Amino acid sequence: MITRDSDEKLLDSYSQTVSDVFQKTSAAVVNIDVKHAGQGSGSGFAFTPDGFLLTNSHVVHGAKRIDVTFVDGRRAQAHLVGDDPHTDLAVIRVIAPNLNYVQLGNSSRIRVGQIAIAIGNPYGFQCTLTAGVISALGRSMRSQSGRLIEQIIQTDAALNPGNSGGPLFNSQGEVVGINTAVILPAQGICFAIPSNTAQFIVAELLRHGRITRGFIGVMGQNVLLPKGMIHIGKAEVESGVSVSGFEQNSPADRAGLHVGDVIVAMDDQLVTNIDDLHRLLTNQAVGRRFMLTVIRDFERVVLDIVPESNR
């Protein structure tokens, strides 16, 4: 039987955990003010002691000036190290002494129902804490570039404009997600990019300033294939990517793709839509020869194609 005393102890334990995380981590969270065509703001956090900060790409992309304000009131101008609109992540850097920083945790270990703690600057209210739970795992959402971001974390820790780029913590004070989006006008449906995705993106941005992905130079759209083609065994899928155009002297051009071809496979991997194609065109695809299967005039055609690095 649960008594009132045990309820109070449980509440005290929860409150103490949330408070401890705030005390441990909040000094690493910053407010970001951006000037470009207009003005904008968001959140970010230091993940190294020498001034590297993580935030959302949509907060700083195209910025002419980036200013960072710390919890203690210090201000510093930051410069962009690199950003990746496809995963909505960016690294910026400030030169400032005695920086507090937080650790990126392992997002593969989180479970639905665990405590989720967000710290950020909603509507400019600096260093605001909200708390809830991990509501779901493995969601997907579209970045502003149109590419699908996968393994997204859903939480009910309240987020508002200005929280973008701020950290989502677990009960140990480790960053398990980077807060990125809310669904309006829904209540309590918020999303964060997993820290494991961020760790890969950060490493690449620190090395190269950008993310390398495979590029074939195709403009395409999702289409359904005629049912007759499936029945006679000329297509193993019901849909594919119709080529509406391609860049001159691109891998697609050199491979002999035609406008109107429908891409249905790369090697033994089926391509049913543009998202499938994006998943295959990773950095590991660059320079590798693929057999590209297309449907052309109701016939299967196999072409050799070698993706290049994105430009």
Closest CA to 128 of 118, 140, 115, 143: 118
Is the four-CA dihedral 221, 224, 228, 229 of positive or negative sign? positive
The residues annotated with a catalytic role in the active site are 58, 88, 164
What DSSP letter does each residue of 249-290 carry, written as one string?
A: TSHHHHHT--TT-EEEEETTEE--SHHHHHHH-SGGGTT--E
Distances (CA, A) of 93 to 37, 52, 81, 184: 22, 5, 7, 32
Residue 276 amino acid letter: D
Cα–Cα distance between 265 and 292 in angstroms, integer? 6
User: Residue 177 half-sphere exposure, CB side, CA atoms within 13 Å?
Assistant: 36
In terms of Cα–Cα distance, which of 195, 178, 189 is closest to 60?
178
287: left (phi over 0), alpha (psi -120 to 50) or beta: left
The first and second tokens of residue 189, run together, are 């449906």
Give the C-alpha distances (Å, rounded to integers) separating 295 from 91, 233, 263.
42, 12, 7
